[in-house]
Amino acid sequence: MRAPPQPERVALHEDADVAMARKQAREMAADQGLPRLAAEALATAVSEIARNVIAHAGAGEMSFEPAFDGEHAGVTVIARDDGPGIEDVARAFRDGYSTANSLGMGLSSARRLVDDFAIVSAVGTGTTVTMTKWARPRRRRDAIPVEDRLILLIEDDRGDEELLRRALHKQRVAGRVDIARDGVDALDYLFARGAHAGRDPAALPHLILLDLKLPKLQGLEVLRALRTDARTRLVPIVVLSSSNDEHDRSAAYEGGANSYVNKPVDFVELLDVVQQLGSYWLTLNQPPGMR
C-alpha cells in the first residue's frame, strides 16, 4: 500500500516563488486527474493568493494536499502568513478594493475560480486562505454567495419592512438588507447622494424589492428613474405590491420591472415567496457582467 501523500510546501518570498506555486498546483492537479481547465483555474487562483501573501504580508508559505471527499479527487491549497491581516474581509473581496493601489481583483477572482474557498484573517496575526478545486464540482455554486448578497427594500410600511426583513434573513436570501422608506430616499441611496452621500455608488444591490405606493415619489417614478440611468438600468427590480390591479401591473412591466409579485398577507406564504424570489434572482439568474 502506498503511504498517504504528504503535503508539498512552497515558501513565498519573491515573484519567482509564485511561479513555483503555480507549477506545484498544476502538477498536483494533473496527478489528481483534474481536467485541464480546472487545473488552470486552480493555478490562477494560487498565483493571486501567493501574490497577495508576498505583496501584503511580505512572506508566507503555501501547502498543497491531495483531497478526496469519498467520491471525487481534488487539490487543497492552504496559504499562510503572519502579516498584518485584513481588517474587513468582506470589503477586501469587493472588486476594486485595494490597499495597494492595485486592481483589487485578486481575492474575488480566486474565490470564483475554485470550488471551496475560506479565509481566516486577524489584524496583527496574519491570514490563512484555504481553497479546494475538485475534479468534478460537487454542487452547483450560488451565482452570488449568500453573505455577499445585498438587497434594497423600498418600503414605507414598517410592518411590511419587518416581515420582509425577517423572511429574507430566515430564508438566507440576503446577507444584508438595506431600506429606503420613500422614493426620494431610494434614489438618494442608489445614486449615493443626499443623506446617502457617503455611500459607494458602485456597491449596487443585487436585487431591489419595490413597493409601488410610496410617499414623496411613487414607485413607478422610482422605476422610471432607475431604468433611464445607465448605472442602475440592469439591476433586477421586483415589484412587491398589495394591489392586484391590472393597470398597476402593466405599468410596472412597462416601466421596466423584472417581475411583479403580490405581497402575501400571511407570513408563511411570504417565506415561500421570498425563497422563490431568492432562488430565481440570486441563484439561477446570471446577470450580465458577472464573472
E-assigned strand segments in 5-98: 8-12, 60-68, 73-81
DSSP conformation class of 228: H
Taking CB under 6 A as the criterion, the residue among 106, 183, 205, 278 binding ligand ATP is 106
Residue 213 three-state SS = coil
Residue 98 binds ligand ATP (CB under 6 A): yes
Q: Identify the H or E element spanning 154.
A: strand 150-154
Residue 24 binds ligand ATP (CB under 6 A): no
What is the C-alpha to C-alpha distance for residues 32 and 11, in angstroms, rounded to an integer? 22
Residue 248 binds ligand ATP (CB under 6 A): no
Where in 106-165 is the site for Mg ion (CB under 5 A)? 106
What is the C-alpha to C-alpha distance for residues 176 and 149, in angstroms, rounded to an integer? 6
Q: How far is the CB of 202 from ligand ATP (least distance, A)?
A: 15
Taking CB under 6 A as the criterion, the residue among 107, 168, 173, 274 binding ligand ATP is 107
C-alpha cell at 28: 498536483
What is the C-alpha to C-alpha distance for residues 222 and 253, in angstroms, rounded to an integer? 13
Q: Phi and psi for 162 in degrees, rounded to 5?
A: -60, -45
Residue 81 binds ligand ATP (CB under 6 A): yes
Select 59 or 204, whichever has its Cβ closest to Mg ion.
59
Q: How far is the CB of 166 from ligand ATP (least distance, A)?
A: 33
- Residue 50 touches which member of Mg ion, ligand ATP, none, C-beta under 5-8 Å by kind: none
Q: Pairing between strand 8-12 and 60-68? A: antiparallel
Residue 28 binds ligand ATP (CB under 6 A): no
Candidates 90-98, 147-155, 159-167, 272-280; binding stretch for ligand ATP (CB under 6 A): 90-98
Q: How far is the CB of 121 from ligand ATP (least distance, A)?
A: 7
Taking CB under 6 A as the criterion, the residue among 20, 59, 73, 105 binding ligand ATP is 105
Q: Phi and psi for 154 in degrees, rounded to 5?
A: -105, 100
β-sheet bridge partners, residue 207: 151
Q: How far is the CB of 106 from Mg ion (least distance, A)?
A: 3
Residue 78 binds ligand ATP (CB under 6 A): no
Q: Cβ of 196: how many Cβ atoms within 10 Å?
A: 17
Residue 60 binds Mg ion (CB under 5 A): no
Contacts to ligand ATP by CB under 6 A: 48, 52-53, 55-57, 81, 83-86, 92, 97-100, 102-108, 127
